[in-house]
Structure formats: structure tokens, C-alpha cells
Amino acid sequence: MKLPPINLTLKDLNTCNYDRFILKSTIHMQEGEFVANVAQSQSSTNKTHSLKGYTAYPGLFNAHDHLLGTYYPRVGNGPYICWKPWDNDLKASKIYEERNRLPIEQIYLLSYYRHILSGVTTVCDHIPHLINDKQIESAYIRIVEQYCIAHEMSSYELIWGEDHEIEIQKAKRYNIPFVTHLEEGFDEESMRGVEVLIEKQGLSSNAVLVHCIACSEQDISLIAEKKASMVWCPNSNLFMFDKTANIKSFLEKNVNVSLGTDSPMSGSLHLLDEMKIASSVYKDFYNEAIPAQLIFKMVTQNPATAFKLNRLIGKIEPGKQADLILLKSKKGSPYERLIKAGIDEIEVVIRSGVPLYFHEKHKHLFYPDSLLKTHYERVRVIHKNTSNIAYLIGKPLKLKKRIQKSARFNKEIDFFPIEAP
Ligand SMILES: [Zn+2]
């Protein structure tokens, strides 16, 4: 990113981490990080602003997506026995053909805006390194860079990395995550996923296991015992299979669970929707509420732990990257407040001290007009019957036009609801 991080002190606002909610706090950001206090020599470079009535949350982390699959609408006619027939339907569809008219750069840019507008500053892009390596550096959001990968553990998987054993050993050697779909289906092979993973010595604290919808109680116990992480994508699961993982059992066995949207061609529009769906699915299946604070942890601290980034992100605290989002405070639980929020309520999104998105009323917090003009576009963001004028980094309106040109008609995409003001 070419923009320098902004040195900024925000005071009188609430700070909401998963383990602590602080009223009337002060947040200092310097050189892209949160700091305990502003060093004497640098104090003059920090602008101080009162943000009374607002709550700051850490930037959200979407633990499972395929950025290359960022398109709309969803494709599929489930329930399927496993992901493979869905993948066949996807690849035979008109929407897939249409998506393939877009160059990779356009698809990736679109994915950044989908995330930014919903408060996400970090994403795990489950895709071969060969595809996203060139995108990571210029991405507005943070894409997890250090990971080993498999598509999944079956004989009919897509080949996304080296041999499973090699990827698994590499992950252990460098202590980085080994990310794979697992038990995403109910055919014989899918249901043996955990067993196969163990045979390949892949069930360890480096493993990040996505979906796990066919996992038995015994599988879940083994996952817990080995301290592997799990990523739950309820909306994508329900869309493709009419079923999702036994999440209550994962939680009761203290597995580190994160939330992911999967690509919008099978999953949620964005992470804010996924949080709402996670909450309602839990209620429907178990007839009890899942604490909002726990769902919040699944999009902040837990994915930071799973991807071994918790020294860098996941909380607003000194030493961590200055990733934050701002919403107006409301009465009641700050966690519920966030989960119930629509994209219209995310007023500011900052990643490593660089504002990615902000409602126009906050523009005085950031750069001079000359920089705003060159690095942002002023846009209207539409949500249901409301709309807000905001600044969005890069050239989103231009991107929308380029996408429409590539698609060869005036394509509208529900997770990219912007227009010229
Ligand atoms: Zn996936």
C-alpha cells in the first residue's frame, strides 16, 4: 500500500476486545501499530479526536474464503453428497462462465471491497500460492501469507499444493498453519477425513480444518486432543448440504473454532451475515443461544490463534497492528450490537493504520483533501433503504465499470452495493 499509516489518537470511545470491554478509552495508533501512549518526541504528529458515542472493535478476520471465487449470485442445487457434484454444477454454470470473463486482478479487487465494507481486515484465502502470491502485496486487506495447503484429503480432491505429507511436514517445520477442507460431505471417503489426516500425520496444532460436517463425536475428540483448529462455515454448508458441523460438540470439547464465509458462490454475502447466520443456526439446532461474545471471538482472537498471527492481530492492544473498525455505540451488549449490525453501520475501517473506508463525516480524522482525492473515491454505499456517502480506498467505481464491461452487461453485485454519489 502506498499510503503511509496515519498517526492518530482517538479518545472518549469504548474499546471492545473479546475478553474486555473498556468504557471511555483512548487508542493511540502510530506507524501502523497500536501503542500504549504517544512518545513525547512524536506527540506533535498525533492528531487527537474525541469519538464519544462510538465503539472500536478489532478489524474482523474471515477464516475461510476463496478470493478467486468472489462472484455472485450463488450457484447450486443441493443437497449434495459431497462438494464434488457442487463443483461440477458450478463449473458448468453460466455464472461461472461469466465470472471467468473477469481478469484475476478484478476478482481480487472485488474481494477486497466485499471484505472492507463488512469490517474485515484479514482473510485466509484458501487457494494455491501460485494464484494469490502476486495479489498479496498490493491487497488492501491482509491476506494470510504463510500457510501450507491441501484442497482436502480425498482421492478426488483438486491438487492445490505438493503431496499432503510434504505440506504437512513443512507446516510443522516452519510452525505455520496447514489448511485443508475436511469431511465436506457424506460419501465414504469424505467421512474418513480425520482418519486419513491422522495416517498422514497431519492432525496437529498446525492443522486448520474447514467444514468438518461429517465429523463424528470420536473425530471431534481427536481434533480436540491434538489441538487442531476448526473453521465453521454454516451458511455454505446449509446451502450445499442442508447440514452443518456439530458445532456444539466442537465448542464443548474446547476446539479453537473460527468463522468463515466460504466464497460467495456458495456462502454468505459477507462476514457480518455469517455471524448472524451462525447465531440463528445454533438457536435452531440446539434450541439455545450461542453467546454473541463467543461468535465475536470466532472472527477475532480464534482465527488469529489458528493462523498463528495472534502476536500481530486479533485485539486492540499495544504492539498489535492498528486494525480497527468503528460503530456507533448502542445500549446492551457490544458483541450483540456488532453481530446485529448491517454494513451501513460500519463507519470506519482501518488496517495497519491506513484507513480503507470511512463515512464522509469522519474524513477530518484522516488525510488532507489532496491525498483523499488521489487515493480514494467518494461513493454512495447502499444498504436496504438507506445509503451513506463514504470514502473507499482505490478506484471502486472504476472497478465496477470494468467488471460490467468484462461481464458485458450492467452487472450488479449484492456485496458491492456502491454507486457514484
Ligand atoms: Zn472452501
Report whether pLDDT(46) > 60: yes
**61-306: CATH class:** alpha beta
Which residue bears the cell 454448508? 237
Q: Please give the distance, rounded to the nearest whole angstrom, from the Cα atom of residue 11 to the centre of ligand 1.
A: 40
Instruction: Give ranges for CATH 2.30.40.10 in the chain.
Output: 8-53+314-419
Q: Please give the distance, rounded to the nearest whole angstrom, from the Cα atom of residue 261 to the centre of ligand 1.
A: 8
Q: Please give the distance, rounded to the nearest whole angstrom, from the Cα atom of residue 180 to the centre of ligand 1.
A: 9
User: Average of pLDDT values for 283-307?
Assistant: 98
Q: Please give the distance, rounded to the nearest whole angstrom, from the Cα atom of residue 97 to the centre of ligand 1.
A: 20
User: Average of pLDDT values for 217-235?
Assistant: 98
Q: Please give the distance, rounded to the nearest whole angstrom, from the Cα atom of residue 271 to the centre of ligand 1.
A: 14
pLDDT per residue as tens digits for the range 260-294: 999 999 999 999 999 999 999 999 999 999 999 99
User: Average of pLDDT values for 13-38?
Assistant: 96
Q: What is the pLDDT of residue 41?
A: 53
pLDDT per residue as tens digits for the range 112-129: 999 999 999 999 999 999
pLDDT per residue as tens digits for the range 167-189: 999 999 999 999 999 999 999 99
Q: Please give the distance, rounded to the nearest whole angstrom, from the Cα atom of residue 201 to the centre of ligand 1.
A: 22
Q: What percent of the chain has pLDDT over 90?
A: 97
Q: Please give the distance, rounded to the nearest whole angstrom, from the Cα atom of residue 98 to the centre of ligand 1.
A: 20
Instruction: Give ranges for CATH 3.20.20.140 in the chain.
Output: 61-306
User: Average of pLDDT values for 225-248?
Assistant: 98
Task: Name which of 9-13, 43-47, 149-153 the model is least confident about.
Answer: 43-47
pLDDT per residue as tens digits for the range 351-392: 999 999 999 999 999 999 999 999 999 999 999 999 999 999
Report whether pLDDT(3) > 70: yes
8-53+314-419 CATH pick, 3.40.640.10, 1.25.40.340, 3.40.50.300, 2.30.40.10: 2.30.40.10
